[in-house]
Amino acid sequence: MMDSDLSPQDKKDLDKFIKFFALKTVQVIVQARLGEKVCTRSLSSPTGSDWFNLAIKDIPEVTHESKKALAGQLPGIERSMCVEISLKTSEGDSMELETWCLEMNEKCDRDIKVSYTVYNRMSLLLKSLLAITRVTPAYKLSRKQGHDYVILYRIYFGEVQLTGLGEGFQTVRVGVVGTPIGTITLSCAYRTNLAFMSTRQFERTAPIMGIIIDHFVERPFGNVGHMHPCIYRAPGEDEGAYNGVEDSQEVCTTSFSTSPPSQLYCSRLSYQSPVLDGAADFCHPSTLNAANPHQMGVPGKEGGVPQQVPVQPCHGAQAEHRRVSSCPPADHVPATPSSSGEDAETSSRSVGVKSGSPCGLLETTFTRKVGAFVNKPGTKVTTASLDLPFAAFAPRAYDLEENDPMVQPPESSATSSPLQGSLHSQGSGESGGPAQDDFVMVDFKPAFSKDDLLPMDLGTFYREFQNPPQLTSLTIDVSSQSMAEDLDALPEKLAVYEKNIDEFDAFVDTLQ
Amino acid sequence: MNCRSEALEVSVEGRQVDEAMLALLHTILLHRSTGKFHYKKEGTYSIGTVGTQDIDCDFIDFSFVRVSSDELDRAIRKAVGEFKDAMGNGMDGMGQISLEFYQKKKSRWPFSDECIPWEVWSIKVNVVNLANEQERQICREKVGEKLGEKVINIVEVINRHEYLPKMPTQSEVDNVFDTSLKDVQPYLYKITFQITDTLGSSVSTTMRRLIKDTLAL
């Protein structure tokens, strides 16, 4: 392709537009698969940092992954940028759901004005992307992700790979933007054959309830390597100016000119040197002249280096995989790793720990459980805790558990104070834990709450019962019936139904 | 200039009319709205930022994206509400709601400004009555899928990049854009509708409209 018709400035602008278009495209796609509704505010005055005049937040991790995939290159002819969305179940099965492709073909539009028309059309294309990402089947799946499965994304650069989408996948074209160096196309190929989902999804007979997933338990979603979870927790509730902008974020101005010859010109972009690229890249304002008024853009407000990578695992698990399927509520006190490690029997909801915990406020007087957070009987009390609040409740160092009437609670998990966790007595002799038990894992119960039927907290309860349970008739119990048996049972069933036909008719009448 | 005309058709249950219309109208307006223009000296202007938000439908298995502007949402809801009222409640019927984008052309006195449409979206709605809950559940999903197809159709048309009014100077901006909203700036638009009863006769409403339009000139 010849871009000799393109002025150097236009070429520079075009490259910048393409780069940021690619980054924003990835943001839109990933954010649409987070499982939550997205909401950004309209601003009547431009901030200078909203590319394409659209309020699309930048999740730093996603930007980082995109830039890593691009590795300094730009999407171009035979260099497509793809975002692959897949689903991974708690059993470890995974399935590609869709692949979004940002490609470029050789069809050039030499007459098009870069800094006006191309820019505006890219903005339009991003709006179309926002609309289309809610329409493909993966959107509904992503809104329901949680216990049974999670949605992951992967960004890659190069050749488009669609083989993982199964047979009969459909393609939807989001749109195209012609540029002087080629035509950018954005499309999505999505799986239509979700047969794997319909059989495997319903195999679980009961949701996991009452299990704290902590870093001593084998994570159900394992190590997913290069895949990334579509889950993001913003550092703060009110992002406001969204300070999570990377310091390499380049600003855009949104000034346009309406003068006749230069009506199609955008003002020059100003940008700060990107730290990651390491290149100083300054644009100086060109002199104003009547024919082509340019205007130096005002740098938008830039946040500093993002404070933290979002999606911090609750307990510092391996960095690659950051999905916590049922993260304990924030009120859990994080525990230090204890050497009892993997043999944590985490079926109990909470752990009461003997004293010595610096978190005296929530301490209970019991030692629980094999494995994590277990304390050796009788060795733990660090009387340094004497100056802790509620130190009076701390059992003495030499009290034996057997003698402590509180240690052997009744079978019911009635709490004796609002601040105590539910109590479970397990073989305290098998502690094997470390000598010190500085941190406890306590299940905080709101005051006056009762452990009625299910010992779980509100957050877990809500997550569990947010969606209706799967119908038992849809669960396929592999071990029991086969098709032949089903067919054999049919005549009997039919006979029964025929016998009760009057009842059914009456029922149907009530529905009319 | 030829006005581009696009037609969409959906069949919905009575209680789905509002959401179906909102979904389609907002999807179109998302693409036909920009940020607020701020004109400066030397004929340059800057453009504000358009925010978006996800809306989940209650009666349809569908979610859509709209511009984050309560004012715009209110205006659309008002029009859709009027359309729904005109359709009547619980009755089978057909109606058509049209979203027309136009430009104003100043005319000399005594003639008033001309409104020249450049894009018209017509959404035909068939309202059906369903007998029982099971059918309603199926309808929820089916209408959701249909709306998804319509969104894809809308996006396809928009991305043909056909005629768009050129960016106006400050003095002309009100002839192209609706500048009355404080956070976003859609192209000038109007929403009209016509109802046909089950017999399909709409002659009277069409005639009425023709006469009204002629007299307005």
In tens, the pLDDT along B145-154 reads: 999 999 999 9
Helix residue ranges per DSSP H, A283-374: none
Residues of A with CB below 8 A from B64's CB? 131, 134
Q: Is B51 close to A254, i.e. CB distance below 8 A?
A: no
Which of B19, B50, B171 would you mutate first to test chain A, the one with the most A CBs within 10 A? B50
Helix (H, G, I), strand (E, B) or coil at A82: strand
pLDDT band at B187 (very low <50, low <70, confident <90, very high): very high
Within 10 angstroms of residue B43's Cβ, the number of other Cβ atoms is: 16
pTM tops 0.80: no
State the average pLDDT for chain B.
87
* Confidence (pLDDT) at B196: 74
3-state secondary structure A41-81: CCECCCCCCCHHHECCCCCHHHHHHHHHHHCCCCCEECEEE
Q: Judge whether residue B64 has pLDDT over 60.
A: yes
Smallest CA–CA distance from B29 into chain A, residue: A127
Q: Give me the residue label for tokens 């340094």.
A: A384
Strands A94-105 and A182-190: antiparallel
Out of B38, B133, B152, the one facing A132 most closely (by C-beta) is B152
Q: What percent of chain B stands above pLDDT 90? A: 59
Q: Does A270 touch chain B (CB under 8 A)?
A: no
Q: Does B179 touch chain A (CB under 8 A)?
A: no
Residues 2-21 of B with CB under 8 A from A: none
* Confidence (pLDDT) at A334: 37
Q: Is B46 close to A256, i.e. CB distance below 8 A?
A: yes
Q: Judge whether residue B13 has pLDDT over 60.
A: yes
Complete DSSP assignment for A205-249: SS---S----TTSPPTT---TT-EES----SSS--TT-TT--TTP
Out of B36, B54, B133, the one facing A38 most closely (by C-beta) is B54
* Confidence (pLDDT) at A316: 38
Q: Does A174 touch chain B (CB under 8 A)?
A: yes
Q: Is B56 close to A131, i.e. CB distance below 8 A?
A: no
CA distance A155 to A137: 20
CB B66 within 8 A of CB B30: yes
- How many CB contacts within 8 angstroms connect chain A with chain B? 160
Helix (H, G, I), strand (E, B) or coil at A22: helix
Selection from B191, B183, B189 nearest residue B68 by Cα: B183
* Confidence (pLDDT) at A484: 76
pLDDT band at B43 (very low <50, low <70, confident <90, very high): confident
**Mean of the pLDDT values across residues B105-134?**
87
Which of A39, A109, A127 would you mutate first to test chain B, the one with the most B CBs within 10 A? A127
Residues 130-149 of B with CB under 8 A from A: 131-133, 148
Kindly give, in sequence order, each residue whose CB lies less than 8 Å from that of residue B186, ignoring residues fewer than 6 positions away: B29, B32, B33, B34, B67, B72, B177, B178
Q: What does the DSSP 8-state code read for residue A430?
A: G
* Confidence (pLDDT) at A155: 93
Helix (H, G, I), strand (E, B) or coil at A256: strand
Which of A330-339, A355-364, B65-74, B112-121: highest mean pLDDT? Answer: B65-74
* Confidence (pLDDT) at A448: 57
Tokens encoding B58: 């209650």
Residues of A with CB below 8 A from B53's CB? 37-40
- The residues of chain A scoring below 50 in pLDDT are 1-3, 198-220, 222-224, 234, 236-249, 259-386, 397-436, 479
What ipTM does the predicted assembly reach? 0.90
Q: What does the DSSP 8-state code read for residue B171?
A: G
Q: Judge whether residue B190 has pLDDT over 70.
A: yes
Residues of A with CB below 8 A from B34's CB? 53
Q: Judge whether residue B78 has pLDDT over 90.
A: yes
The tens digit of pLDDT for each residue in A109-130 reads 888 888 788 999 999 999 999 9
* Confidence (pLDDT) at A270: 33
